[in-house]
Structure formats: structure tokens, C-alpha cells
């Protein structure tokens, strides 16, 4: 490809996910459509002292299937999950990395928090055993850019590479920035997404102190995440990773790749309102959605499905609904909008990537996953959230949106070819 070609069409050709609902795209998608819930009682530490005691953990994960055992010991769980998702994406996309121009092969993997488990484990060693017992791999294990670096080293990817950090908007920003880099001519192909593993004591203590997490259904975990339901009382943390292969259409066709859809539009902005709360007017998010549509060259009525941020917090779900109404007008009540966080929990920095994965599959299959646990309608959240059971309809274009602490907004538009 001529790297100076203006705005080449950019497509998605591979999907890798590791979540509480499955370690590959097929099992993840099958369980989403079935309305299965990956949320249960926390097992990664004893949660009995915490007000929130539930999470969506990745069970039965063996990192040695994806990394050398020595590298597993040297890297935090979030990096292990990222490597797994990257290799699942490569497998799904039938990508032979040995045949690539490595200087034009990039990796953009973000994390909202990074190696939280390493941070806590090594701080404990410091306080109990002294500084000489702290691992020399502490710093490279916990920094939030290291997943991008480790995956690139494994694959020999010498193109654009860094880690993005924008809280719960992280992996949406990573995918969007990859789109812009490829349009600009900086790379032909990029692995982009996010990874998170923050089901730890300190993370839970912090979020519980903020009163951001669900506390009312510790004895009934699978009903604890209930986006847009009037009785929602906070988010449920999940862990995992999502990574997609993004490349120019020309590059994809030249290697005979299966093309899922076009990555058509992206926008990012900030509410500039509050460090943890969205602007209740929805104006910042609405501007972001409008700009992603503009970037895609599409009108609002062309969107058939939105994968919502839908965290199951009072403020987010109401604000997101308000913003969608501002942007889509009457069409807001006609399109389908679901929150898969009701099943996966909230993967923080990795949330957007696994939700992009779900939106791609909606376009591919015409099946739309539900928002489970939708039982009590909220008059301030009155759109079609695909309650409790999947539905089927042809979707030519989808949007996925995420909001992050700090006021960060991100929106992506996907379109069938």
C-alpha cells in the first residue's frame, strides 16, 4: 500500500477475547446470546470484609497456553490476558505474522489500571520482608504500557506501539487511535484493544469507598449487574481482555483475510465536568456520538444497534440514555441498545474492546445480545434495551460507546461492507 494514500478504508479481520464468558470469540458470543452471566462471588481474594463481594472473573485460565512459563512468572495477570487475547485474534484472523512487514505492524493495547495485582503483592513483600525481597520485575510488570510492549516483542511488531490509559474508555480509544494511525499511513495493520485484571483487595476497597459498586445482591451475584433497571445500585467489576485486528482493506484483501466489517468512525472528547461523574446533561457524550457519526460519514438513522456503556450505576445509565436521545431523536426509540456488562461485568479499561467484539458479531450474524436483569423499568431510561432475551434483526451499522473517570468519552462506529 502507498502509505500516503488518503483515508484508506479500514477493516476488522480478527477478534480475540478472554472473559468470564469464554476464552475465545465463539464461546463468548454464544454465551452472550444465551443471556448467560459470568458474575459470581469473588474468588481471587476473601471478599467477606467488603461491601461488594461479586465479580466476573476469568476462570480456568492457563497463561502457559499463550506464553513461556518464565514469561508468565515475569508478567502481571493483565499482560497474560492481553497475550491470550492477541493470539486468539491472530488465530481468528488467520494472520501469519511472519509474512508481515514488521515495521508497519503496530500494537496498541491499553489498560485502565495496569498491574494492580503486582503492585499489591510486591508492596506486601516490601512491608513484610524488606526492600531486597521486592522482585526486579515489579516495575515492568505493573506499568500500564507493558502489555503492548510484551505482545509486540513476542510478535516482532516494530510499528506504532504504546499503552493508552483513559479509565473505562481506554480500549475504545486504543481501537480508535489505531484507525487514525492506519488512515494517516503510519501502519498497515494494528492489534488494538485493552486488558484488565483488577479484582484485588485495594481496587475493591477503593471502589467500595466511592460507593460505585453493587452491594445489594451479594447473595445473588448473577442478578447484581442490572443496567437501566430502576433498582440498579452500582457496577460489578470484571476482568479479561479484548483485542481486534485492524488493517486497510487493501492489506486484508492482499492476504486473503476474512473481513468482518468496516471500522468507519471514531471520536473522543471530555465532559470537563467532574472526575468521576458524567455531565448529567449528556452534552459532552452527545457531542462525541455526533462526531463519531460525522467521522464515519453516516446519519444517525443508519445506526441499528448501540452497545451501551451501561454500567448499572444510577448516573451513567440515565446520562447515556439522555445523550442517545439528543443525538438520535425519534430514531432513539427505534434502534436497539443493550448493555453486555449485565453479563460480563465491567472490565474497566478492557470494556470497550469486548463490546466492540460483540457489536462486530451483531453486524455479522443479525443476532443482538440482551440486557439481562432488566426487571423494573425506569422512567428516565425508556429506550429499547433488548430486555432479557436476544433478538434477531439485520444491522448494517452499529455504535459502541464508553465513558471513563476524568470525563473521557469515546465512540466507535462499525459498518457492514
Q: Which of 23, 173, 251, 346 is catalytic?
A: 346
Compute the distance between CA of residue 125 and CA of residue 135 in angstroms, rounded to an integer.
9
Coil vs helix vs strand at 116: helix
Residue pair 279/189 in contact by the 8 Å Cβ criterion:
no
Estimate the crossing angle of helix 351-365 against helix 170-184, to 10 degrees.
70
251 is catalytic: no
Compute the distance between CA of residue 218 and CA of residue 216 in angstroms, rounded to an integer.
6
301 is catalytic: no
Tell me the H-state helices in 95-169.
116-129, 138-142, 146-155
Residue pair 163/148 in contact by the 8 Å Cβ criterion:
yes
Residue pair 353/245 in contact by the 8 Å Cβ criterion:
no
Residue pair 74/149 in contact by the 8 Å Cβ criterion:
no
Q: Give the H/E segment covering residue 178.
A: helix 170-184
Coil vs helix vs strand at 73: helix
Q: How many CA atoms lie within 13 A of 73 on its CB side?
A: 4
Q: How many CA atoms lie within 13 A of 398 on its CB side?
A: 31
First to last CA, the chain: 20
Of the candidates 355, 256, 264, which has an alpha carbon nearest to the alpha carbon of residue 25? Answer: 355
Q: Which of 173, 251, 309, 408 is catalytic?
A: 309
Q: Which residue has the cell 506501539?
A: 161
Residue pair 16/109 in contact by the 8 Å Cβ criterion:
no
346 is catalytic: yes
Angle at 224 between CA 220 and CA 228, to 5 degrees: 145
Compute the distance between CA of residue 106 and CA of residue 148 in angstroms, rounded to an integer.
9
Phi then psi for residue 228, to 5 deg, are 70, -5
Q: Which of 37, 52, 168, 208 is catalytic?
A: 168
In sequence order, the 6+-apart residues with CB closer than 8 A to the CB of 97 are 90, 105, 155, 156, 157
Residue pair 335/307 in contact by the 8 Å Cβ criterion:
no
**Which DSSP state fits 414?**
E
Compute the distance between CA of residue 149 and CA of residue 160 in angstroms, rounded to an integer.
11
- List residues with catalytic annotation: 168, 309, 346
Amino acid at each position: 500500500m502507498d502509505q500516503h494514500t488518503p483515508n484508506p478504508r479500514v477493516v476488522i479481520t480478527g477478534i480475540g477475547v478472554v472473559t468470564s464468558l469464554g476464552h475465545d470469540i465463539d464461546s463468548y458470543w454464544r454465551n452472550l446470546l444465551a443471556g448467560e452471566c459470568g458474575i459470581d462471588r469473588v474468588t481471587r481474594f476473601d471478599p467477606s470484609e467488603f461491601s461488594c463481594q461479586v465479580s466476573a472473573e476469568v476462570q480456568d485460565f492457563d497463561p502457559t497456553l499463550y506464553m513461556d512459563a518464565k514469561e508468565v512468572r515475569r508478567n502481571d495477570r493483565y499482560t497474560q490476558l492481553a497475550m491470550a487475547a492477541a493470539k486468539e485474534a491472530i488465530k481468528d484472523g488467520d494472520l501469519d505474522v511472519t509474512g508481515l512487514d514488521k515495521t508497519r505492524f503496530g500494537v496498541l493495547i491499553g489498560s485502565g489500571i495496569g498491574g494492580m495485582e503486582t503492585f499489591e503483592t510486591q508492596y506486601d513483600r516490601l512491608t513484610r520482608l524488606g526492600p531486597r525481597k521486592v522482585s526486579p520485575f515489579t516495575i515492568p510488570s505493573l506499568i500500564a504500557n507493558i502489555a503492548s510492549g510484551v505482545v509486540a516483542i513476542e510478535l516482532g511488531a516494530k510499528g506504532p506501539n504504546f499503552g493508552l490509559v483513559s479509565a473505562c474508555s481506554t480500549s475504545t480509544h486504543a481501537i480508535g487511535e489505531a484507525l487514525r494511525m492506519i488512515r494517516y499511513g503510519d501502519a498497515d495493520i494494528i492489534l488494538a484493544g485493552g486488558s484488565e485484571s483488577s479484582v484485588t483487595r485495594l481496587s475493591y476497597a477503593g471502589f467500595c469507598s466511592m460507593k460505585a459498586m453493587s452491594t445489594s445482591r451479594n447473595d445473588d451475584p448473577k442478578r447484581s449487574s442490572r443496567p437501566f433497571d430502576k433498582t440498579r445500585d452500582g457496577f460489578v467489576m470484571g476482568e479479561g481482555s479484548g483485542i481486534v485486528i485492524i488493517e486497510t482493506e487493501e492489506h486484508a484483501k492482499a492476504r486473503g483475510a476474512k473481513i468482518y466489517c468496516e471500522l468507519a468512525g471514531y471520536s473522543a472528547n471530555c465532559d470537563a465536568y467532574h472526575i468521576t461523574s458524567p455531565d448529567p446533561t449528556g452534552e459532552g457524550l452527545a457531542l462525541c456520538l455526533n462526531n463519531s457519526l460525522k467521522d464515519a460519514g453516516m446519519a444517525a438513522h443508519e445506526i441499528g444497534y448501540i452497545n451501551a456503556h451501561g454500567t448499572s450505576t444510577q448516573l451513567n445509565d440515565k446520562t447515556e440514555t439522555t445523550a442517545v436521545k439528543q443525538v438520535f431523536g425519534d430514531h432513539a426509540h427505534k434502534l436497539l441498545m443493550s448493555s453486555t456488562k449485565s453479563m460480563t461485568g465491567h472490565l474497566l479499561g478492557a470494556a470497550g474492546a469486548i463490546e466492540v467484539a460483540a457489536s462486530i458479531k451483531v453486524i455479522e450474524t443479525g443476532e443482538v445480545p440482551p440486557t439481562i436483569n432488566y426487571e423494573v423499568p425506569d422512567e428516565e431510561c425508556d429506550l429499547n434495551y433488548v430486555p432479557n432475551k436476544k433478538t434477531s434483526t439485520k444491522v448494517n451499522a452499529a455504535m459502541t460507546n464508553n465513558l471513563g473517570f476524568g470525563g473521557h468519552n469515546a465512540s466507535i462506529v462499525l459498518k457492514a461492507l
